[in-house]
Structure 1
Amino acid sequence: MELTPASERIELFGDQVRELLHPTVTEDARLVQKGLMLYRQGLVKQIQIWNEQITATVQDVTPCYVKLNFEFLSQSECSCPTEGFCRHQMAVFFGAYARVGSVADWVTDWREPIRESKSISGWGLQTAKDLIKENGVSKPDYGRWVHSFEVSFDTLLATKKYTSPYVIPELFGIYERRIHASAPVEQEWRLLYELVGIVVSFRKLARLSDDLGHEEDMVKRAYLHLFHNLMDDAEELSLKIGVQSLPFDFDEFVDKLREDTFELLTCTQGLAYERIFLYRLLWIHFFKKKAWREEELVKIQTRLKSLQDWQSPAPLLLAGIHLNFLLGDDEAALRMTGPFNDEEITPYLVFWIEYLSGLKAWKRVGPVVELFLQKVKGYLEWLGGYHSCATFVRNALRTVAPYCTESDRVDLYERAMLSMLPYSFGDYEYVLFERKQYDRWGELQAFVGLDYYELPKDRLKLIEKEQPEVLLGMLHQTAQKEIDQKNRASYRLAVRHLKKLRTLYKKLKRVDDWEYFLDTLMERTKRLRAFHEECKRSKLIEG
């Protein structure tokens, strides 16, 4: 297998760090600053870049030993007591990055969003001030509401003068304050006004991304959180409106809001997940009448027929699946999933499992869970990035668990964990250990590639007492890994593990097996003089 060049591995690790830390979070900014200081003071020593990890020592107040795992940032380690990613790990990353690029440039790129937003804030506030006018008391009017949203949005954000994605959050915040300042006084109308504002704002912001040519990655880094905030606010508002008695005049407004909500499906080609999420929650919590849902299905079928070649049918099809679930026609819903590949349909299946579980419609949940398990592996392969996958898996397992509990399907939950390895490792490891399935627990550790000394000491102690043979394979594997490093420190560690192996073989009354293994190992490593010296020094073999 061809190894990825070290420079590329370090670059990819840098992307993981960038994904983990955000410049607008005070703790993260402080962490980067401290790591930078340690690196610039020359306190990072003995950097070694291996195939799977970077190792180094940081001469802080107390010297710290750091290991950075290339593939899984969360498995990186530091001997300091800080939990999670610490300043020493940050410093070692900078030390390694300095070999392939400019640390100053990396930090500048990482800080970019802050600099951009500061430069625009003064201009934006002045514009907002000019826009806000005295609110006259007039009868609510849907068309006038939408017009005022669009004019405010265009004036503040669609000026073409400022096209950097990093200025958009600042300007959008000003625009939102403008909407709130103009809201009707009456509670019931104000809530509806704000809900209409969210749908219009979401659509305008999505179209602006297209007009400015902002790629998906750029949107994700700079202002994807704005869409997510709108989604959260819409859910809260639609729930509030749903529990109050609505004026008769609302009917006309709801009809027009349904039309605007439908346009979320075709207003842009990007942000499909976010558009469907907003559409989905409005149809669950706000547009509840059966007749409305049936009308919407017909409308979707009609629009599908008139789509242009360049337009994706996916959002319309997903909306159709959702409405069929809401109408109780699960068979039609599942049939409509046919055209989708794994990466397209899987995240939405989690939606529907959660929705049906919320209804306690357990018989309806089963087929959706089965379909999800067929698709999830392909989705995780496509998703990539350890943190993204781990977050998705944590949420998916939490969503599947109620069905497995209610229907007494422990086997199904285990299948779910197996199909989502290695990201479900923590949950699966816990379940196997609790069930005392130590053989399978050991196999799982080997599958993930954890070394013996990385495992919790209390668990090792219990397994050594109850089923010591489980630990043999792990110790063999760990000892061999250390021998393969071919340096004196690793040989010492290898000998430590070999001595532990000898103890276990004696405990299991398999001394012959141990002696055969040791003779074979000594023969195979006869050219590694330093390793043999360590074996003699520790009395593992005769001098």
Structure 2
Amino acid sequence: MSLSLAQLAQVYQDTITTCLKAQTDTLQPTAPEHAELMTRAAFLVRNQAVTFTDYNTQSLTLTAAINDVATFHVQIFLANQTVSCTCLQGVCRHRVAALLALYQYNDSVQQFLETWRMPPPTLRTPEAWRRLAYDIVVHNTQEEHHFEGYNLHYAKQRMMQEATRHRPFEREWAPLFELFMEMHIIYMLWERLLETKSRSFHSGRPAFTKLLDNWATTCCDLMDVVGHGPRLFALDPFIDAIITCSRKFITTFTTHAVTRLTVYEHAIRVLAPHDFLAERDIFSHPSTDALMTIYAQEGELALDAIDVELALYFLGMEATQHTPYAKALIAHLLPQLKDFIASLPLFSREEHALAIYDIMLNASMDEEQEAELFLAFGTAGLRPYSHFLLRKGRYDDWVGLHILYPSSLAYATACGLQELAKLSPKHTLPIYHYYAMQEIDGKSRAHYKSAVRILRAMRTAAKRSGQQAYFNDYIDTLQHEYKRLRALQEELEKGNLR
């Protein structure tokens, strides 16, 4: 080398510091594996296990040999401020050790480690915390490959991990800090998605919907912890900032209305120092006005501003049940339900139909409205309609429905076949016959074994309904009709169906 190692470290002091911070910024002092990594890296430096072997003046590349459990080679590319290691791990103790070995020529390694273990405390104000959240979001969304837009869950998880390094140590402050960061990081992340055309499509994808659902659950749980914890005066400005952020979710964004309203409603109900009547005087929005009207039990709902998802959300609230608002919401909802179901992806229609049916169970509907509800579901409503027919004791209609729309025995069971077998065993006989014939038509021993299992269930239902003689005649007819199918005859004999 034309320069000594100490001189080289001084010339590239800023580069070495930048590389070292890039390696250690992703590590958390509270994580045992990260703390162990830093300890081992410092151990390698102190025990002179780092030897610099080569310096390429043309590519400005410095190579070091690390004598660990094996010999690893670290290359420090001073020109583009990157580091590589032959262990091929993302962040490893060998990279950190090589950088610390250079860093010690300019500053104290011990001081660096102490600073890393005890990061400088953030100014404890809502503005400082908000700025911290902003810096974290901006840092993690500067570049598309760093942002990893295809996996929002891990992008958000990484941001929360960075924020955790600045969490206050006091027990009463920890859940408040996490709630504050959850609210502001998601708000700023969502805002940046919409600001960039190349990323805006992420906000409409299922991954983002799942992210918001998990986020809403986390926020509501943290609000319960904060709301039931000690209410210190020092916490009030932060709680006010969280409530303000929940209002901004309502006014800034237009999609995922139910998730946004869920977080807002929980914030006002658990954290706000006033009731919903006072909140209505402070903040007004069509969706929140409807929420306040229901909680206050006074005034009329502005139904024009309520779409299908919001109507279902309001119907599911305990405050709505057995009130005139429930009837108004049902009358508003039913005409729109068919188009809403049709607009959903095929794979999710039945799931939504079941969820809507569960909500409607607590609503008072007349027969005409019930018919309109299930007509709106279409074929996606087979399961909820099946449960409805069982609840009403309309067993003949249940059987007719599943003969008209046959599927599989497993699906019929999910629609209440076992319950029907307990309530009215005789009505299950034609269903069992249908599925047994399906298996026999498969014409293989495996299908015949399945048919015999179904026939055993049919025999049990026949005994319970006092039709054992009918079942014996049925088996005789079956054996006679399929007498040429030897494998079937053998399985019927093994099944001891008489």
Does 2:308 match 1:346?
yes
Give 1:444's aligned residue.
Answer: 401
Distance of 1:355 and 1:124 partners within structure 2: 51
Distance of 2:128 and 2:359 partners within structure 1: 42
Of 252-261 and 412-421, deviating more is 412-421
Give 2:280's aligned residue.
Answer: 294
Residue 123 of structure 1: CA displacement?
7.7
Give 2:293's aligned residue.
Answer: 324
Instruction: Confirm or deny: 8 A CA contact 1:191 1:241 kept in the other structure.
Output: yes
Match of 2:218 among 221, 225, 233: 233
> 3-state DSSP class of the match of 2:143?
coil
Match of 2:349 among 389, 392, 404: 389
Does 2:383 match 1:426?
yes
Q: Which has the larger radius of gyration?
A: 2
Q: Deviations over 1:367-418 (max 9, x none)?
A: 33443334322211122323x22222222222332445xx9x8997676555
Residue 195 of structure 1: CA displacement?
1.6
Query: How many residues are matched?
Result: 343
What is the aligned-residue identity percentage? 12
Matches within 5 A, 1:474-489: none
- What is the TM-score of this pair, normalised by structure 2? 0.54
> 3-state DSSP class of the match of 1:166?
coil
Match of 1:185 among 169, 175, 180: 169
Instruction: Confirm or deny: 8 A CA contact 1:157 1:168 kept in the other structure.
Output: no
Match of 2:134 among 128, 146, 150: 150
Change (3 A) 1:289 1:379: same
Change (3 A) 1:366 1:160: same
Give 1:194's aligned residue.
Answer: 178
Distance of 2:203 and 2:92 partners within structure 1: 21
Distance of 2:92 and 2:405 partners within structure 1: 51
Give 1:140's aligned residue.
Answer: 124
Instruction: Confirm or deny: 8 A CA contact 1:353 1:365 kept in the other structure.
Output: yes
Change (3 A) 1:441 1:373: same
> 3-state DSSP class of the match of 2:379?
coil
Q: Deviations over 1:273-311 (max 9, x none)?
A: 4433433332333236136412334xx3xxxxxxxxxxx
Matches within 5 A, 1:52-451: 122=90, 134-136=118-120, 140-160=124-144, 162=146, 164-210=148-194, 211=196, 213-214=198-199, 216=201, 220-287=205-272, 289-290=274-275, 292-297=278-283, 300=284, 316-329=285-298, 331-332=299-300, 334=301, 336-339=302-305, 345-356=307-318, 364-386=325-347, 388-403=348-363, 416-417=373-374, 419-433=376-390, 436-450=393-407
Instruction: Confirm or deny: 8 A CA contact 2:258 2:313 kept in the other structure.
Output: no
Structure 1 gap segments, 5+ residues each: 1-120, 301-315, 490-506, 508-533, 539-543
Distance of 1:458 and 1:161 partners within structure 2: 52
- Provide the alpha-carbon RMSD of the alignment: 4.9
Q: Deviations over 1:167-201 (max 9, x none)?
A: 54333222211222211222332222222211111
Change (3 A) 1:430 1:292: closer
Structure 2 gap segments, 5+ residues each: 1-88, 97-111, 445-466, 468-480, 486-498
Of 158-167 and 172-181, deviating more is 158-167
Distance of 1:459 and 1:322 partners within structure 2: 38
Change (3 A) 1:455 1:246: closer
